[in-house]
């Protein structure tokens, strides 16, 4: 009995260390019907929740009272995330695998371990005559958007990486990071001016973005976008504008877009469950918008995945009816666990099961024709 009492006391002490968060404003989720599985795939929308493993999705599900838009996805699998030189990946190597279909070393941006460039699904799309778009919540010098648009052996070579946007040919680029495009560059280059000279229409506010025709460069903040509670529906508006412009201009040729919920990862690194979950829930609301758009279109394959999970998060307490979670973080970094991926729309029957992250990318790219 003494041993049992000691165990109870230990459990109580551990519970006091839990970090609690309650979602005060749950939202209604959408219900969508996929088009016929054999419908032609014209468009691909690849949504990446940076750091968003199963544990983060589970917490978000509790917070929104037991429902998420991601629940609409009929095909679910697991993606192994390790990179070519480490069991635990970073966003540069993990994002490169998702973008290019090839694993690489830590810190590499669109580049193989031997220094050769790796070309993303955007390049294949451009060669097929499709349009491309990239929307992110972080600054555009961050790893994941760069993995789709740039090439460098080190993710921290921000001046050189940002310069690649001027030649990447992506039709719609929107995120944060004005400082990286000019004011704080060590080389003195004004990448905004260079891109405007190539025909890009530059926007710095939501209002300007909604008016700008293709091609678009939208730099909506000096660094990352404001946190979810402060930016409101900005990410959702950026996404909607991207999809509408690309679909109108591409017609039957179609487009490929990458949409990233970037700052889920940032706040998991900081062990802030409140801000991490607000980012996750905003990402899920955006997933709902994308699914409704894709349902109307009828020819769009939608994939949601993560590059890795962050924070060694464990869900240990909570209440679905109250939208409350009690969690504990195990670290401030990434881990080596497999992460879930979700697929909806025509072509989804080709997915499912356990895949390497690079295999998932190659399956997605196989529909770019």
Q: Which residues contact 54 (CB under 8 A, 6 or more apart)?
A: 309, 339, 340
**Residue whose pair of structure tokens reads 């009929």 in the numeric block:** 74
The CA distance from 217 to 201, in Å, is 6
Is the Cβ–Cβ distance between 277 and 228 less than 8 Å? no
The closest alpha carbon to 160, from 169, 171, 151, belongs to: 151
**Exposure b/e, 41-70, CB count within 10 A at least 16 = b:** bbbbbbbbbbbbbbbbbbbbbbbbbeebbb
The closest alpha carbon to 105, from 133, 86, 121, belongs to: 86
Active site residue 91: yes
Q: Which residues contact 23 (CB under 8 A, 6 or more apart)?
A: 63, 64, 65, 277, 281, 323, 324
Q: Which residues contact 105 (CB under 8 A, 6 or more apart)?
A: 83, 84, 85, 86, 93, 113
Looking at 31, 58, 91, 262, which residue is catalytic?
A: 91
Instruction: Catalogue the active-site residues.
Output: 91
């Amino acid at each position: 009995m003494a041993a049992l009492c000691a165990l109870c006391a230990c459990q109580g002490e551990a519970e006091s260390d839990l970090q609690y968060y309650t979602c005060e404003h749950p939202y209604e989720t959408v219900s969508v019907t996929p088009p016929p599985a054999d419908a032609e795939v014209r468009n691909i929308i690849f949504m990446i929740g940076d750091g968003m493993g199963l544990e983060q999705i589970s917490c978000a599900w509790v917070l929104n009272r037991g429902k998420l838009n991601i629940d609409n996805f009929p095909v679910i699998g697991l993606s192994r995330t390790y990179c070519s030189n480490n069991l635990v990946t970073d966003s540069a190597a993990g994002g490169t695998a998702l973008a290019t279909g090839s694993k690489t070393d830590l810190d590499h941006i669109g580049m193989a371990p031997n220094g050769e460039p790796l070309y993303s699904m955007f390049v294949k799309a451009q060669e097929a005559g499709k349009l491309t778009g990239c929307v992110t919540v972080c600054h555009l010098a961050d790893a994941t958007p760069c993995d789709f648009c740039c090439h460098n052996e080190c993710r921290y070579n921000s001046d050189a990486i940002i310069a690649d946007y001027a030649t990447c040919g992506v039709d719609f680029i929107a995120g944060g990071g004005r400082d990286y495009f000019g004011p704080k560059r060590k080389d003195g280059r004004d990448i905004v001016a260079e891109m405007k000279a190539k025909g890009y229409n530059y926007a710095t506010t939501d209002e300007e973005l909604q008016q700008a025709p293709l091609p678009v460069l939208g730099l909506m903040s000096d660094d990352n976008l404001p946190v979810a509670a402060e930016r409101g529906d900005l990410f959702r508006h950026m996404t909607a504008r991207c999809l509408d412009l690309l679909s109108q201009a591409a017609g039957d040729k179609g487009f490929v877009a990458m949409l990233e919920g970037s700052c889920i990862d940032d706040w998991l690194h900081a062990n802030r469950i409140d801000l991490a979950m607000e980012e996750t829930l905003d990402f899920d609301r955006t997933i709902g918008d994308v699914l409704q758009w894709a349902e109307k279109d009828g020819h769009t394959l939608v994939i949601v995945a993560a590059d890795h999970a962050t924070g060694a998060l464990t869900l240990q307490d909570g209440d679905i009816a109250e939208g409350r979670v009690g969690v504990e973080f195990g670290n401030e970094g990434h881990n080596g666990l497999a992460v879930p991926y979700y697929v909806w729309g025509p072509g989804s029957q080709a997915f499912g099961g356990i895949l390497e992250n690079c295999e998932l990318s190659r399956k997605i790219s196989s529909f770019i024709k």
